[in-house]
Chain A
Amino acid sequence: MSSTTSAAPRTFFGKDAIAFIVLAALILVVFPVALDIFRLNLVGKYLTYAFVAVGLVLCWGFGGILSLGQGIFFGLGGYCMAMFLKLEASSPENTAIQSTPGIPDFMDWNQVTELPWWWVPFNSFPLALIAILLVPTAFAYVIGAAMFKRRVGGVYFAIITQAVAAILTILIVGQQGYTGGINGMTDLRTLLGWDIRTDSAKLILYFVNAVLLLGVILIALFVKSSKFGRLLIAMRDKEDRVRFSGYDVANFKIFVFCLAAAFSAIGGAMFALQVGFMSPSFVGIVPSIEMVIFCAVGGRLSIFGAVYGALLVNYAKTTFSESFPELWLFAMGGLFIAVVMAFPNGLAGIWKSHVEPLLPRLMKRLRPPAIVSAPTKAPAE
């Protein structure tokens, strides 16, 4: 029967399971063993971008919806976390020298004398956690609903999301008294009384981050392997056909956009925790489009590729901008052009077309000793 193979649904067992185990081993075992705490903290920071990249694989790679505003959600998630940490760091005892003790320092510097109402919920950790997920997702819902219900897509959607990212940055920078302005929220010290600046805290946060990322990857793999995943591909290809097969296309796009936003928000919150500050430079046009390149370098169709892409590009960025700052923009620009023109499927594409075909041969070469020791000799191949 020719149909027996197709009857088995695409699941995330098999190749994806191996890839998942390899990645988990890498970030849970290899990195912590091989790197000192300073480097490990850097890797943790890179991995927060992997959250965004994984979201982009679903949204852009599968769904064909290019968002140039993922920094919005990364930033909102990060700011929600930073606001909680800032309030905790601004206890009346810590801020006794201010003219209004008990409010964040930047408010005091800007003659704000009372905590604004929308800051108040961030005194509570549970509420802050809810806000981290809810605020960016709700915002994504508003943008997504407004655009997708009216069939705005493609280049238009990309430009609008970019404009929103620009607006949010200008707003945050402009409203210094409420947001910390261009410097952002700095000097974040403790989480529920636990000093997050110590080496042991950084190590624990790294693992929390890693486990969250693996969880997000599992969700993404589930979505990809479900019918929803195939619908995303179908919508990217022939949107009208999907619509005239009885699907309300807009809802699916909104969902995947919100999901990507929620992923980014978790990344942003973990960024604020691990790095100890949050600023508008992680929100605007430039960081948002860089996040797309993490995804593109890794391979826009590969969830695992996106993680490696985020790691590699950020590692390269740190190395380059430390030693040859003037070359970094050239390298980055070249990367954009190369990945689009020569390697549209990124590292994952190269892996699939060049490395994977070699694997069986490699395996064969590695196997002979085992065969020799086996009692039954394999027939000549």
Chain B
Amino acid sequence: MIGDYTYDQFFSILAMQGFAGLVLFSVFVLMALGLAIIFGQMGVINMAHGEFMILGAYVTWGTGLFVTNFAPALFPIYFFVAMALAFCASFTLGVFVEWAMIRHLYKRPLDTLLATWGLSLILQQTYRSVFGAREVGVTLPDWMMGSLPLTDIIEVPINGLFVMALTTLIAIAVALLMYKSRWGKQVRAVTQNRIMAGAVGINTKMVDRMTFGLGCGIAGVAGSAFTMIGSTGPTAGQLYIVDTFLVVVFGGAGSLIGTIASAFAISQAQSTMEFFLSGSMAKVLTLLTVVGILMLRPQGLFTLKIRR
């Protein structure tokens, strides 16, 4: 017996909380992938990343409304369309922001932090003015509701599985893009030696812009996934930004595997502890552990030893 639970119940709770953490995990992974790509590529921290996510969430919500009102027949598959649109919206905004702001600040990473924070305030207020201060919720198609029973006690939510599968696909796609494609090779070349990459004919400015856009676009998809676990409001993105940074830093910047592993560890720890503690204490403990580990091992979990 553990507390009031039998072992059976205890492990079932662990398993259920684990699955419940999957959606959180997916949001973390998608958010962190975008952030890690941008940070790894240009050493730029995008404080408005959460707002890019929320843009994706609003687009998903808007698409849902549109389909319900004008093409109800498409409702079962609207989520896929919404995700594509969310990506496009965030990508476009990302490219614009890179052009208007970020490219002038590459040599001053700390200043980028402040400037993108300013951007996040503006975006928040824009959402509030356009969509209202009230939080909005997304209606899921029927097939995504409900859950699959695994055992008598353990049930797996279908939307969790769906998001999970989608995240895996995106993570694989990103990995292929970064490590197998010609474009990915250019990105890595610019990361390692910007001047030399430019000298051998890579358009480094375009690579920067597309990378920033891609990172933001993935955040938009994260926003789509986010609509399943939280309601979308103007300031919802801000709550995630610190967690996401910790995920990126904890995993070791520049390591995709590390990012995914740390997203998994943090989301599962938080989700599991939430069942036994109050939500706020679970979060405090998780973040405190991460910060504590980072103080002992600042380079993160996965990193290469290189000559500075």
Contact = CB atoms under 8 A, between A and B. Distances in A.
Interface stretch (A111-119, A327-335, A373-381): A327-335
Contacts of B278: 174
Nearest to B120: A333
Given A330-B122, A340-B114, A174 B295 contact: no
Interface string A97-121: 0000000000000000000000000
Contact of B43 (A155, A158, A164, A174): A155
Interface string B267-288: 0000000000010110110011
A293 B114 contact: yes
Contact of A151 (B121, B124, B290, B298): B298
A333 B298 contact: no
Chain A contact residues: over half helix, strand or loop, or mixed? Answer: helix
Contact of A173 (B43, B110, B280): B280
Given A146-B295, A174-B278, A336 B114 contact: yes
Contacts, number: 115
Contact of A333 (B122, B238, B283, B284): B122
B287 to A, nearest CB: 5
B182 interface: no
Interface stretch (B198-206, B208-216, B225-233, B242-250): B242-250
A170 B298 contact: no
B246 A163 contact: yes
B246 to A, nearest CB: 6
Interface string B11-53: 0000000000000000000000000000100010100000000
Contact of B113 (A146, A158, A286, A339): A158
A163 B109 contact: no
B298 A155 contact: no
Contacts of B110: 64, 66, 154-155, 158
Given A156-B249, A329-B124, A147 B295 contact: yes
Contacts of A296: 114
A150 B295 CA distance: 8
Contacts of B298: 147, 150-152, 156
B109 A337 contact: no
B236 interface: no
A332 B123 CA distance: 12
Given A166-B242, A329-B124, A330-B122, A341 B104 contact: yes
Nearest to B123: A333
B114 A333 contact: no
Given A155-B43, A160-B294, A337 B242 contact: no
Given A174-B281, A333-B120, A333-B125, A285 B114 contact: no
Contact of A337 (B119, B281, B287, B295): B119
A292 B245 contact: no
B117 interface: yes
A341 B281 contact: no
B194 interface: no
B118 interface: yes
B105 interface: yes
A128 B115 CA distance: 38
A257 to B, nearest CB: 14
Interface size range of chain B in the complex = 35 or more
Interface residues of A, number: 42
Interface in A259-291: 285-286, 289
B295 A332 contact: no
B39, B108, B121, B288 — most chain A CB neighbours (10 Å): B121
A332 B121 contact: yes
Nearest to A65: B110
Nearest to B295: A146
B84 interface: no
B106 to A, nearest CB: 13
Nearest to A335: B118
Contacts of B119: 333, 336-337
A337 B118 contact: yes
Nearest to B125: A329
Contacts of B281: 174
Contacts of A66: 110, 113
Interface of A: 64, 66, 68, 146-147, 150-152, 154-156, 158-160, 162-164, 166-167, 170-171, 173-174, 285-286, 289, 292-293, 296, 326, 329-330, 332-337, 339-341, 344
When A and B form their complex, which 10 residue pairs have the shortest distance between CB atoms, in order from nearest? A336-B118, A174-B280, A333-B121, A333-B122, A329-B125, A146-B295, A337-B118, A333-B118, A340-B115, A152-B298
Interface of B: 39, 43, 45, 101, 104-105, 108-115, 117-122, 124-125, 128-129, 238, 242, 245-246, 249, 278, 280-281, 283-284, 287-288, 290-291, 294-296, 298
16 contacts: A151-B298, A155-B110, A160-B249, A160-B294, A163-B246, A164-B291, A171-B280, A292-B114, A296-B114, A329-B128, A330-B121, A333-B119, A337-B118, A340-B112, A341-B105, A344-B108
Given A163-B291, A341-B101, 17 more contacts: A154-B109, A154-B110, A156-B249, A156-B298, A159-B242, A159-B245, A160-B249, A163-B287, A170-B280, A174-B278, A289-B114, A289-B117, A329-B121, A329-B124, A329-B125, A336-B121, A341-B105
